[in-house]
A and B are shown apart, each in its own frame.
Chain A
C-alpha cells in the first residue's frame, strides 16, 4: 500500500477518490430536503420550517428590521433586528422560513465580532508555516524528505 510500486497510479486514485467525495458531498448539501435552498424551491411546504445559518456574512442592510446574509447562497433576506450590524459582519441566525416572501424570520441572532481576529491568527500561522516549511521539509529524488 505504501510501496513505490505503481506510486503515481495510487496517488491519482487518491485524488480521484477525493474528487468523488467532493462531488458526492456537494450533491448531499444542495439536494437535502432541509435548509433555505429546499424551502425556497417549495415555499408553501416549508412555511415555518426551522432554519440555521451558522457564520454567514451580512451583505446588505435594508432597514432596522431587515437585512441580507450570504455564504453558499447569496442575499438570503432576514426579517429581524439589524441594530449593531454592519455589512461584512459574521452572524449566526436561527429562524423560521416565511413562504409569503421567501425570507427568514430571525428568532435568534448571534454576532461573531472576533471572526476577523481569528482569521488574522490563521493567516499568521500560514505565513509562519510557509517560512519554516523549507527548514522542516525538502525534496530529493522526486520525494519529500524530512529535515527537521
Chain B
C-alpha cells in the first residue's frame, strides 16, 4: 500500500483537474480500502505479534476489503448509507476512488508478493512493480501541496 497522504492527494488532484463532482466522496473512496483493511489488520497484527495470539480470521479476514470484489461490496454498503437520490453517484465515485487506490498500490514492487486482484475467482497475484514499496514517502508532501494549491486556484477561479 502507498501512504494515505499520496492516495488522498492524487484523488484531490484528479478531481480538481477533471472538475468532476463529489470530490469528497472520491477521496473517501481512495482512503476506504486501507482504512477498512490495513488499519484493523495492522492494529490486530500488532496485538497478535506482541500481546496475545489471535485467530487467523482477526489478522487475515480484512484482506478482501483491499481486493476488487470486496471493494465493490464495501462501496455498495457505504453508498447505501447516503440519501437515496445520490446513491448511484456516490457508488460510482467510491468505486472510482478505490480503483485509483488499487492502481497506485499495484505500481509498487513487493518482490513477487503482489495483489490478489481476482480473488475469490482467481487466486494468482499481480503487481506492476515499477516503484519501491516506500517510494511514495518522497512524493507525499509535494503531492499534498500541489493538491492544496490546485484546489485553491480552482476555488478562486469560480
A interface, CB within 8 angstroms of B: 2-4, 7, 10-11, 14-15, 17-19, 21-26, 28-30, 52, 54-55, 57, 59, 70-72, 74, 92, 94, 110, 112, 114-115, 117-119, 121-122, 124-126, 128-129, 136-137, 140-141, 143-148
Which residues on the B side are within 8 Å of A141 (C-beta)? 83
| CB neighbors of A among B25-74 (8 A) | 25, 28, 31, 34-35, 39, 45, 48-49, 53, 56-57, 59-65, 69-70, 73-74
Contact A72 B83 (CB under 8 A): no
Asked, given contacts A14-B77, A30-B56, A118-B3, whether A144 binds B111 with beta carbons under 8 Å apart, the answer is no
Bound: A22/B80 CA distance, A: 21
Those 6 A-B pairs whose CB atoms lie nearest each other, nearest first: A22-B61, A125-B4, A114-B134, A136-B24, A121-B3, A21-B64
- Pick from A28, A59, A121, A143: contact of B81, CB under 8 Å: A143
Which residues on the B side are within 8 Å of A114 (C-beta)? 134, 137
Which residues on the B side are within 8 Å of A10 (C-beta)? 80
Bound: A141/B82 CA distance, A: 10
Contact A21 B120 (CB under 8 A): yes
Bound: A115/B131 CA distance, A: 15
